[in-house]
């Protein structure tokens, strides 16, 4: 009998405090749809669904004909399923971690190190930096999704320095003047001025930060109560972040970083050293298989300000430049491909209209993980003994070079995402 190379997975849910609560969470709703035995607790956060082999969330195999219990164990003994190039390039391991995130309160302001820095940090402080891998990632919105990403154009930051005296106070006059003067200089001078300003802010004394933040919150609250619109200084967002993280230096980062609101299907790609923070909404996320994060605010966790200020990419750009549009497939009218400039992962989105009775999932020279966000199908392959029912929230592992046919059980549109590695 041919070995099973396509099978369903039961994936790990992470209940981090920032996640949406109970059935408000897309993670919880996907879990409830795919597992009739799942019980959703309305008073618990459902933050992330992990689909992959990471030791902190190795997916369980839902096929009793397979002796291995988890996907990580199975791949270790069936490395050919990765695809020849993937197997050799990534030492017989699945190179990506695929996730769904449901964000209620802001995640920390953070950046992920490149490979060289990741190796160094892991050697120096393995308790804070648990592995030696880089962690580029892409976030694709499932609902309206808000995040901070990359440095704003300098003109915008300078405008905030003028309109928000509390922000200017923390930066200091010298650094603020340097930034204003850099606007007529080359990109190196801009980067140097930006680093100086950001470092001044992040290294401010806690007591001074709290004083200035309280002044700003009071001023915005009074203006809002009087019926004035404070959007020119992101008033509503500042109040929201201060409520979530009172007195936190990260509240001021909104004046440095681009604010993006992604519509469903829109994406942002976060390469190494780009500062970012997810604020609210649901998304699909894919990343290199790593758990390395350098944090600097909006968090109760370990903060490493010197490393962050040193490592960041101080390249300002308008917010629309941070969007990462997919390419439409030439062969398949229902397929969109998000292929960032890193070898570790690619994400495909498939939107199949309900009138299509059968849909063929392309065979790839890469192992892949398929998530069903919307729709009900039965999946079959030439090697499988029986069809696999798959509904909303269902997750399917597909070995390299396996062709999967999906028969639509009901004439309703399908929405699927598939993570793979196209070398």
Residues designated catalytic = 295
Is residue 294 predicted with pLDDT exceeding 50? yes
CA atoms lying within 13 Å on the CB side of residue 319 = 15
**Identical fold at 6-102+326-420 and 155-253?**
no
Confirm if 400 and 364 have CB atoms less than 8 A apart: yes
Ligand-binding site membership of 110 (annotated): yes
The count of other CB atoms within 10 Å of the CB of residue 77 is 10
pLDDT, averaged across the chain: 95
Structure tokens given for 116: 């060289």
pLDDT tens for each residue of 185-204 = 999 999 999 999 999 999 99
Q: Tell me: pLDDT of 130 over 60.
A: yes
Mean pLDDT of 384-394: 92
**Is 6-102+326-420 a domain of CATH 3.10.129.10?**
no
Q: Which two tokens stand for residue 379?
A: 């999946």
DSSP string, 343-399: SS-EEEEEEE-TT-SEEEEPP-SS-EEEEEEE--EEEE-SS-SS-EEE-TT-EEEE-
Q: How confident is the model at residue 1 (pLDDT cuts 50, 70, 90)?
A: very low
Distance, in Å, from the CA atom of 128 to the CA atom of 217, rounded to the nearest integer, reads: 33
pLDDT at 224: 96
Rounded mean pLDDT of 248-258?
97
CA distance 281 to 74: 33
Q: Return the HEC string of 189-226.
A: HHHHHHHHHHHHHHCCCHHHHHHHHHHHHHHHHHHHHC
What residue segments make up the domains of the chain, in order of their start?
A: 6-102+326-420, 155-253
Q: Is 112 annotated as a binding residue?
A: yes
What is the DSSP code (8-state) at residue 176?
H
Give the CA-trace dihedral at 126, 127, 128, 130, to 10 degrees: 50
Share of the chain above pLDDT 90, in %: 87
Query: Is the separation of the CB atoms in 344 and 333 below 8 Å?
Result: no
Q: Is 137 annotated as a binding residue?
A: yes
Q: Is domain 155-253 annotated with CATH 1.10.441.10?
A: yes
Give the residues across from 419 on adjacent strands: 347, 369
Res 2 pLDDT > 60: no
214-231: average pLDDT? 97
Q: Is the pLDDT of residue 423 over 50?
A: yes
Residue written as tokens 């969109």? Answer: 336
Q: How far apart (Å, rounded) are the C-alpha atoms in residues 375 and 416?
A: 9
Q: What is the mean pLDDT of residues 242-267?
A: 98
pLDDT exceeds cutoff 90 at 396: yes
SS3 165: helix
Residue 284 reports pLDDT greater than 70: yes
């Amino acid at each position: 009998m041919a070995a099973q190379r396509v099978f369903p997975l039961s994936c790990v849910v992470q209940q981090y405090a920032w996640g949406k609560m109970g059935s408000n969470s897309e993670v919880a709703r996907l879990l409830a749809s795919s597992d009739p035995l799942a019980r959703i607790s309305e008073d618990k956060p459902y933050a992330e669904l992990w689909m992959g082999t990471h030791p902190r969330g190795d997916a369980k195999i839902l096929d009793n004909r397979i002796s291995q219990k988890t996907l990580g164990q199975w791949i270790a003994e069936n490395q050919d399923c990765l695809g020849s190039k993937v197997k050799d390039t990534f030492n017989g391991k699945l190179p990506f971690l695929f996730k769904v995130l449901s964000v209620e309160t802001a995640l920390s302001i953070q950046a992920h190190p490149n490979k060289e820095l990741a190796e160094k940090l892991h050697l120096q402080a393995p308790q804070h930096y648990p592995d030696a891998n880089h962690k580029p990632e892409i976030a694709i919105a499932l609902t309206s999704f808000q995040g901070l990403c990359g440095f704003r154009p300098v003109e915008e930051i300078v405008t905030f320095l003028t309109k928000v005296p509390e922000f200017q106070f923390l930066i200091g006059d010298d650094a603020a003047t340097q930034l204003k003067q850099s606007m007529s200089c080359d990109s190196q001078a801009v980067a140097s001025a930006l680093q100086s300003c950001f470092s001044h802010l992040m290294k401010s004394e806690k007591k001074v930060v709290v004083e200035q933040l309280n002044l700003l919150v009071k001023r915005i609250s009074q203006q809002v109560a009087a019926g004035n619109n404070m959007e020119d200084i992101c008033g509503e967002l500042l109040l929201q972040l201060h409520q979530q993280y009172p007195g936190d230096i990260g509240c001021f980062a909104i004046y440095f970083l681009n604010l993006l609101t992604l519509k469903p299907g829109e994406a942002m790609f976060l390469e190494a050293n780009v500062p970012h923070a997810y604020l609210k909404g649901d998304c699909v996320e894919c990343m290199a298989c790593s758990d390395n994060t350098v944090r600097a605010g909006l968090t109760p966790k370990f903060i490493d300000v010197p490393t962050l200020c040193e490592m960041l990419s101080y390249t300002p750009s308008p917010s629309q430049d941070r969007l990462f549009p997919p390419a439409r497939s030439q062969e398949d009218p229902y397929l969109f491909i998000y292929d960032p400039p890193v070898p570790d992962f690619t994400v495909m989105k498939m939107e199949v209209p309900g009138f299509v009775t059968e849909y063929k999932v392309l065979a790839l020279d890469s192992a892949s993980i398929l998530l069903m966000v919307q729709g009900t199908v039965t999946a079959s392959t030439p090697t499988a003994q029986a069809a696999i029912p798959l509904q909303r929230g269902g997750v399917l592992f597909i070995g390299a070079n396996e062709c999967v046919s999906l028969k639509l059980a009901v004439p309703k549109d399908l929405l699927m995402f598939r993570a793979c590695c196209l070398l």
